[in-house]
Structure 1
Amino acid sequence: MFSWRRRSVLLGLIGFSCLLIGLTVLFAELGLDNADKLASVFGAFSGVSGLAIAGVSLFQDRSPRRENTGVASEQLEALARALRRPAAIPVRAARSLPTDIPDFVDRETVLERIEAAAGRAGSGTAAVCTISGMAGVGKTALAVRAAHRLADSFPDGALFLNLHGHSADQAPVPPGRALEALLHGLGLAPDQVPESLEERAALWRSQTADSRTLVVLDNAADDRQVVPLIPAGPCLTIVTSRRRLVLDGGQVVALNALATQDAVRLLTGAVGAERLQSGSGEVREIVSRCGRLPLAVRLAAGHLQSHPAWTPGNLLSEMREAEARDDLPIPGQNGVMAAFHPSYEGITPDQQRLLRRLALHPGTDFDVPAAGALYGGTIADTAAGLEALSEQSLLEEPAYRRYRLHDLVRDFVLHRVEQEPPAETSAARARLIDYYTAASVRAERVINLLGFRDSENEIEHPPAEAPAFASHAEAMAWLETERPNLHACVELAVEGGQTARAARLARAMAYFLRLSGHWTDAADLCRRAAQWCADLGDSACSADMVFLSGDIARLTGRHREARSYYEQALAVYRESGDRHREARTLHSLGDLDRMQHRYEAAIDIYTRALTVYESTGNRLSSARAVHSIADAHRLAGNGEAAMDQYETVLGMYRELEDPVGAVRARHGIADVQVLGGNGLQALPALQDALRAYRELGDRLGEADALHSIGAAHLAAGEPDEAVRHLRQARDVYISLGDERQEVQTLLKLGQAHAAAGDLEEALASCEAAAAASQEADDLYLRADAERLLGRLLLSAGRRDEAAAHLRAGLGLLRELGSPLADDLRAELRRAEPGPAEEP
């Protein structure tokens, strides 16, 4: 407890007048609260005024809280404004660093950058490091910690000065007054300090020209306040500011919120591990609700310390309840919220409006055009506003021209958004969704050459500027970067009852999700979008979503479900007379037949689809049909026919200037070479394919190429390399949720391990494949797994187990009517001592 008697002693020591004592008591009694005062407890304040206000803060923070009325709050703010004055700058000692706080959590990487800047001071020139970040993020604590670590390298002094650039109750310290304090800190008497700013600056540079002095300038307003204070010699200046200050030759450090584990460690250190032991999940939520800001975490710790009976769960309940009500303080956050107020009030009305619009964004980060859509202004004006907000540390820039709001800033600003007309916020959200829809449509136009349906003319608010994509790779990269925002905007549209907007955006992004392997998200989105479109009476959109649902089901091995989806879409396309999409759906039904080893049926369907494509003049779709015919021949073991078709389609792709198709055709040719035993010959083309798929963001293509490379190494007698690539392929298939190809790869891994002489690993792979195949909607796949496992068990001398698996495989092949049943029956006879029994 910070007692009244102790506070009086401090005031007496610093010689304050009775009037100031009275005002101090008034502030404490009325509960004046802002984050700059709270930060003073942790070393942000210096000098007489700093000590006085720090005393108020300590007393106030540990005093019972009073609920102030709106009138009292307004009176307090008016009083604070009336008393706003330059800080009293006392004579400073040569060693004036605040005490290093004991509960500092490690920011080692950032400290190393500051120390690197200090190293440059050894070259005889001044070094500068600026630390920027929002209120409460720990700028001062970091600067003080760095200064203490470096103090021994600067024997001529270590000065600390609070410039009050963003203090609610202190005006920024003018450079002349700051120079006066710094010169006093070097030991100059008052009569030795000249009056004018220019003379003081010249004297400061002269006094530091040959010294090694460390200067910490805390809470700077802008570069104009700082530049005159930079010493001249081999000195180090550390500057903290909510603005991002870029000074000539200076190191720039942008300080973000703590990592979750560090925030937990900070809270644990303040409260005690024993107290928090029982609720690690609750502790993580507490620090999350504090935005992982050191100041907010310390405030939360203070609430636990001042309520010894509280558990972390009790505090969490208080925080949850407070967030839902406006008439309660928010433990751990209201102090930080108050710190945002002067920053917000210090920007222009247009910048405030932009900040309010940015708080409406449902995602985590955004680019300039998205911000422009929310703002409703030009891109140039938006970019300038974003830069200004970033300089004020109200906005973070985690990547080039990408921005984000800290959660606490967002919460602070959203309170002001609530006061705006609902029609304006609704219009801003609509513009944002339409921006993402327009950009996604343009991206899909580049990546979906077969099934693209242009819906850009349906967009209500076409953006003034949207990305232009020069290549498949550019479009895929943009979609991947914005994927979280696209999903968030779909949900934003649904929550706002705008299902037409949600459906348009879903349709624009669905093909990308299918191509890039985000199949779980794609399945859910397509299912929901199909229903939205149906409810809106848009049968074409609904059919497209149903068709894509079939694609996802096929790719994830749910063949019966896929067939059902395709047949539903086919009926709609036939009814509407959409011959191209009818043929495309037939093509996909052929893919199902091919995957189920019905190669002749698949070739027949592909040929029918090819006839339709040719009749509509769609040469690219025609090429895809020829490609599929080649694939079916290859899988059926007809290498010569497959090679002829692949070479034909490769020529078609070249004429059409389709690099993606050409890569896949060369991949197919290499696979035929592997089947013919020419693994080494195939490897260069397969490596090229792998690189191309990765550049295109085609994760299924990447996995297929890795599988083919593994098969090529196996055919070339290099089982160890085969194992390495097949394991990579398996991992990608698992991440995609492609259970069918996962089983196929496990079986190939079993063969590779066996070829390497590792029968134990071979059996493990094939047993895993056999177990996984039981869940697959593919009897051929299950038969393959049982057959290969039986063969390996037979090689291991485990004849009874081998016979059981071979018999299971035989039963599946007989059920399928496969000619392979005869071959497997012969293997079963070798496994059994007597005649093979018919299953």
Structure 2
Amino acid sequence: MVEIDLLGEVHARVGGHNVELGPARQRCVLAALAVDVNKTVSVTQLTERVWGDEPPARARASLHSYLSRLRQAGIELATRPTGYALVADESSVDLMRFRKLRRENKLGDAIALWRGEPLTGIAGEWAQLTRDRLNEERDAAELDLIDARLQLGRGPELLAAITAHATDKPLDERVAAQHMRALAQAGRISEALDQFHALRTRLRTELGTEPGPELKQLHEKLLLCNQEAPTAIPRQLPSAPAQFVGRQEDLAELDHAVRTGVAAIAGAGGMGKTWLALHWAHRNLHRFPDGQLFVDLRGFSPDETPMDPDVAIRGFLHALGLDASRIPPDPHASAALFRSLVARKRLLVVIDNAVDAAQVTPMLPGGDTCKVLVTSRNRLPGSIRPVGLDVLADRDSSTLLATRIGATRLNAEPLAVARLIDLCGGLPLALSIVGARVLTEPDLSLAAIARQLEELGLGALDADPSVSVPVVLSWSYRALTDRQKKMFALLGIAPGEDIDLNAAASLGNMSTKDTQEALRSLEQASLISISSGFRARMHDLVRAYAADRAKHVDSEEALRRLVDHHVHTAHANDRVIDPLRPLIALSPANVDVTPAADKAGALAWFDAERGTRRAVQQTAAAHGWNDSVVTLARVSHAYHQLRGHLDDELTMWQAAIDAAEDPMDRIVAHRIMGTSLGQVHRYDEAQAHLDSAVTLAEQAGEPLQLADAHGSLAWLWASRSEYQRAFEHAQAALPHYLETGNQMLIAMAHNNIGHCAAEIGETSLGREHATRALDLLHELGDRRGEAIAVDTLGRVEHQVGNHAEAVVLYEHAIELYRAENDDYTTAKVLISLGNSHLALEQHDQAARLWQEALRMLEQQGREDEAERVRKQLAEIHVTPGS
């Protein structure tokens, strides 16, 4: 019996004995026939396979000689009319056995047949082309085998091999999918998502393409696995308009349009689009028990660029209860996550002031249970059902005026009322301003007011708001006092959507009492609206007019005061939130600052000013006030971390990096940017920023900055489970912290070394440093720091097998964490405590602790960790929740 091997060095055996195959071309003849065993290979084909397109003159004679020698060696070769064939059982050729096993899905056995590079020992073009094709078959079989093993959940043990495949084939989508699945099965879903983003970037850059549908589906599935289950029911709608009148036909049309899923109210500025949308939304709240989302895209704001859809989507995800670290950085991915999360919810999404369909489309939810209401000055094409909004009918205009001036005065001068309605063109904004002005002129007849408007040029204007509203505003503006005019003009240039009383006082350089009076007067004139918390807001048409009036005041000095107000107030409230943070040196305040009385009040101030603070930072950057740009990022850092607003953190620290002039500022900016990027799993970018921080700190020779940079790198590597590298940076940080003399920082540096040492098996060293940290933190009275150090000691004792001692330490850590209201870390330590009880074979205690941890994790939306606890409970045969 003959046996022929092609999947490695070409080799043959006859009757179990090796056959000498002679020179390379004789081996090539055998291989050329064996790949088509029992099939005729023509003389021409055989010659080309052995010698190529230009065989020598004696090629045919040489071929006969090679065939004869192979026959003499015991290999059966049949002569056919057109050529030759190798006659043998197909199973005698390893290539054929490989293909048969692959068809039978015996992939492990199939791959085991390979002994190296196929057709080894044979040269030539045919051999190389065949070798490449056979390698592709082998690669495909290996990928099939990996897929089969991944289906069995064996990703963790395959991860090293798959990672090597992915490195070798960075553009192969199938390999990328396997890499993502293996990472996910190893509990590293965030890294799997990072791999998708990396591949997508490569495909776009190198091939100009996007990932295929299968990879995108896997990506969306992993996004859902990675997200924290939303626990919040968003209630973002602003209050319903108090003086809404008429629009019954528009409301009926809106009822019908919303049934299709997405409706858009289109109309000119000042037409009442937002009022109609909010009135309809509040009237239909019962239809949306899963909540309401609202965003103003600022598509027509005179002093701001329209909001990027990704920013709005991230805001929606925050409102749904997701932590920023679980929101993917890629806009397409975050949009996909949003669609997936709300696909089966009965949710209303109100999108105000959209520029065009391109701004809206990424924000549209999936499924058919959510409804979307859009307002825009433009008609939005596509699948969005339009509801065109026109001016108010005369009757509705009269009703709106009556709500402002009273029916008695309205009925007293019907002809003048008709003229005012004509002059205002049925525009609700113009009618509201006129009605407010009438109230301030009780002795002036409506006819006289109409004549004033006509004298200003408000004639038959065909309801063009670009003409009629400025004329009405100019008429109303003339009636303001000088103080009111100044405040009105400055509000037009104030950054952000709204402004609070104290900030407005700084802007206008007035007392809060005078500012409050001025704002109330502007509200009575319908030039601004004042919401809860005494926050003033302007319609964008009014803002544009007011900004034009700001040309006549010292606007730059006013903006400087406003920026200073935010810098100093944020700094004061930051000290309330985290009084142990190092002091930040500020220039003397030229504005009054009143910090909050407690942490809750400080957080509430930051919450209210969240969007405005970014706009204020942009204003500071535009004016070159670079110190303020950096300081605003620094004093917002603790708030961003507590609230999980990592998108704001990244935006503000990028601005700080761009603005930083002082070397220390640049170090801090790169360091915090790096840690923030690490929190959202953008590890390569994080590494680059932290490396820059170390380099700059080394150049500056400043010990605290160098220590913090190494400490941040230790954290980054630990978050990637690279504890050896984390340990090296933790050790490098300590000498620099010692130079600073700051005992709290020194204590935490010892704890970091202890934690990393324990993770790499250096338990004695870990115990030594964690104990030192605990002693220092106890002396300092830092109870949360103590909890961290005790937690580390518990980890050390558990690893060395002192489980009873670990139980005692973990219980003490939990007691300390609970005293600090740190539910997040408490849940983690409860799991560790359960592990120690399990090691002591105390299954009931372990189950009880894991049940408690599971409830906390579910309440906090930490689904990945919750699922791991459920598996732990299942392994000891306990049903979660029992």
Q: What TM-score results when the alignment is normalised by the length of structure 1?
A: 0.47
Q: What TM-score results when the alignment is normalised by the length of structure 2?
A: 0.45
